[in-house]
Each structure stands twice: as C-alpha cells, then as structure tokens.
Amino acid sequence: MSKRISDIPEQDRPREKLLRKGAAAMSDQELLAILLGKGTPGMDVMTLAGKLARVIDEKGLSVRAEDLTAFEGIGEAKATLVLAAIEFARRRIKPEGLKIRTPADVLPLIRHFAERKQEHFLSVTINGANEVLNVRVVSIGLIDRSPVHPREVYADALTDRASGIIVAHNHPAGSLEPSPSDIAATKQIKQAGEIIGIELLDHIIFNRQAYYSFLEEGRF
C-alpha cells in the first residue's frame, strides 16, 4: 500500500499544518504533497513530492506534463492538477511581466529557496523591458557551496531570448558576505555574458531575513 497523508502523524500532516499556520508557512514539498494526496507503493508522498519539486525548480514555468508523468505514480490526472495549480497562481502573481527596478524586486520570486538546506543557484531571466521571463534552479550544491558554470547559467537564458539575467543563491548558514568563490563565479559569469550579449544585472545572496546585492554594494 502507498503511504497516504493520513498515515503521517496528525501534527505533521501538510493539510493540518496549512490550516494551522497558513500556506506561507509550508515548504514547496509540503504544498506538492497536498496536491498529490498519496505516494506510490514504493515511495511515500513526501519523498515523491520532493522529487517533483526538484524537476519544477529546474524547469520553472516551462515545466510540462511529460516532465511530471516521467515519475512512477504520476499519471495525467495528477500532472494536470499540479500544472493547473502553477498556472492559476502564475496568472495572479504574474512573474512573467513583473518589472525589475531594484534587486529586491526579485526576492518574492526566490525567497522560498531560503528554506532549502542545500545551496541553490538560481537564474532569473529578464527581457529588454526589465520584465521577468522565468526563474530556474541552475545547480544544487553542498551546504556551503553550489558549483556553477557560465554555460549552465546562460543555456536557458539563450532559450528565453533574454537580454539580461539576475543570478542568486541562498546561504543556508552563516554570513551573507560573498565568499572568494562567489566573487570569482560572478566575475566569470559577467565576462561570459558580455561575450554572448546577455548582461549579468546582479548577483544576490539571500537567507530568510536579508539579502546581499553585488550591484548595490558596488561590486559591478
């Protein structure tokens, strides 16, 4: 038998937690678990939700039904439910068309990654009108570092026909001050962008409480 949400201790059930604390208190994995309802014979619902969350992180708004149905236990019904939920929210929050005027403007789109225990390196693609096109996870690293290469950063930006990008990563622990590797990676990404014609607009390091902007700190 697959493990259902009802099999989880009541105080840990995502639905009850949402009602008690509100949707904003939920992790992405918990929100997806609510939509899925149950897992598969070989995988509990929270584990399955975690795997789906990773795919959605990587694809952003480009996620398609076949990306989800590739997982055992995710049929067309569950895939369409998840995709409908994403589109329903997108039409109201409108990440596409959101104008970026200051670095802090992207924080509502990425802040939930501050909850992740590993470092996630993100790419926010921007068009010529400074509007957001998409938000994607480029790489996931260890607790204190996320290896990233310019080709990975710019691959989706080229697909989006972006004119610029903002990169960002969460610091699961410690200071927001950029490390030597953060500084070196930023320089490398910026130089690559100059060659291919997609401007690196900023690099943001963030946690639950605050953020650090390379642009605001005069490092560009």
pLDDT per residue as tens digits for the range 105-156? 888 888 888 888 888 999 999 999 888 888 898 988 754 555 688 999 999 8
Task: Give me the number of domains the chain comprises.
Answer: 2
Secondary structure of residue 80 in the 3-state scheme:
helix
Average pLDDT over residues 68-92: 84
Q: Is residue 218 part of a domain?
A: no
In the DSSP assignment, the letter for residue 138 is: E
Determine the pLDDT at residue 1.
Answer: 47
Closest CA to 120 of 105, 109, 136: 136
Are 214 and 186 within 8 A, CB to CB? yes
Query: Are residues 116 and 197 both part of a single domain?
Result: yes
pTM above 0.85, yes or no: no
Query: Are residues 119 and 76 both part of a single domain?
Result: no
Query: Are residues 87 and 110 both part of a single domain?
Result: no
**At a CB cut-off of 8 Å and minimum separation 6, what does 35 contact?**
78, 81, 82, 85
Q: Is residue 11 part of a domain?
A: yes
Q: Predicted confidence band at 38 (pLDDT cuts at 50, 70, 90)?
A: confident
Q: Is residue 178 part of a domain?
A: yes
Count other C-beta atoms under 10 Å from residue 20's C-beta: 10
Strands 164-170 and 199-206: parallel
Q: Predicted confidence band at 57 (pLDDT cuts at 50, 70, 90)?
A: confident
Query: Are residues 168 and 204 both part of a single domain?
Result: yes
Q: Is residue 187 part of a domain?
A: yes
Query: Are residues 117 and 22 both part of a single domain?
Result: no
Domain boundary (93, 125, 145) is at: 93
Average pLDDT over residues 195-199: 95
Domain boundary (59, 93, 127) is at: 93
Domain boundary (93, 111, 131) is at: 93
Q: Is residue 220 part of a domain?
A: no
Closest CA to 201 of 140, 132, 118: 132
Average pLDDT over residues 173-190: 89
State which residues form the domain around 80: 5-93
Query: Are residues 122 and 199 both part of a single domain?
Result: yes
Q: Is residue 219 part of a domain?
A: no
Residue 152 to residue 98: CA distance in whole angstroms: 24
Q: Is residue 35 part of a domain?
A: yes
For residues 39-74, one letter each, b for 16 or more C-beta atoms within 10 angstroms of the residue's C-beta and e for the rest, the string is bbeebbbbebbbebbeebbbbbeebeeebbbebebb
Q: Is residue 22 part of a domain?
A: yes
Query: Are residues 111 and 73 both part of a single domain?
Result: no
Query: Are residues 63 and 122 both part of a single domain?
Result: no
Tokens representing 179 are 């490390």
Determine the pLDDT at residue 16.
Answer: 85
Determine the pLDDT at residue 9.
Answer: 66
**Which helix (DSSP H) or strand (DSSP E) does residue 169 occupy?**
strand 164-170
